[in-house]
A = this chain, B = another copy of it.
Amino acid sequence: MRISQLSRESTVPVATIKYYLRERLLHEGQLTSATQASYDESHVRRLRLIRALIVGAGLSIAVTRDLLDGVDAPPESGHDLLGIAHHALIAPTAADVDTTAVDALLDQWGWDTHGCDSAAKAAVAGAIDGIRAAGFELPEGMLDTYAGAMHTVASAEIAGVPTDSAEAAVHYVVLGTVLVEPLLLALRRLAQQSASRARFGAMPL
């Protein structure tokens, strides 16, 4: 199919498709002449994925490219699946964040400290710092509640990683990490509303 039909099938404007081609988010079509290229189903799928990442998950073009590069690249070792997603996603935090407090928390929760890279720990430390800097105090034990809930989530997710093919595993881990984030936050808000009604009664319409 030609670019105009690709645009129709994906509901992405032609100019935007060209932009994604330039930005190397979308692989080029098969050139059939100097001014003609043909695109196929793989381009439609890819465009849907790109839009889900940019519009749905709110990623930038640059982060999206990093992520897609990771999904496309043949995973050499197979065990740094998460690295692909996490390195692209975790904001480049200044490494000067003190993560010893986080290490202590991980110990306390029984998490594998050595299995976690420092950037991820710095992200947690930064999030806690941000909360404190805002003048907000987490209630006693709340951090443990959060950790427990996220442990439950992550365990189920990792348990579900397909092992039949490396491609499937990367696809599952990388996309699952980022695409599910909006869902989790939306579910939390919904659960808050439900719990709030249970405790306080009436709720806004």
A binding-site residues for B, Cβ under 8 Å: 45, 48-49, 51-53, 55-57, 77-83, 86, 89-90, 106, 111-112, 114-117, 120-121, 123-124, 126-128, 130-131, 133-136, 138-139, 141-142, 145-161, 171-172, 175-177, 179-205
Contacts and interface: CB of A to CB of B under 8 A. Distances in A.
B52 A187 contact: no
A134 B179 contact: yes
Copies in the complex: 2
Contacts of A112: 193-194, 197-198
B156 A145 contact: yes
Contact of A117 (B53, B180, B204): B204
Contacts of A126: 56, 182, 186
Contacts of A202: 77, 79
A115 B191 contact: no
Contacts of A114: 197, 203
Shortest beta-carbon contacts, A-B, top 7: A115-B197, A52-B134, A56-B130, A154-B191, A127-B183, A83-B204, A80-B204
Given A83-B203, A146-B183, 6 more contacts: A56-B134, A90-B186, A115-B193, A127-B186, A146-B184, A155-B195
Nearest to A175: B136
A191 B147 contact: yes
A150 B80 contact: no
Contacts of A149: 149-150, 152-153, 184
A193 B86 contact: yes
A102 B128 CA distance: 32
A120 B159 contact: no
A118 to B, nearest CB: 8
A145 B159 CA distance: 12
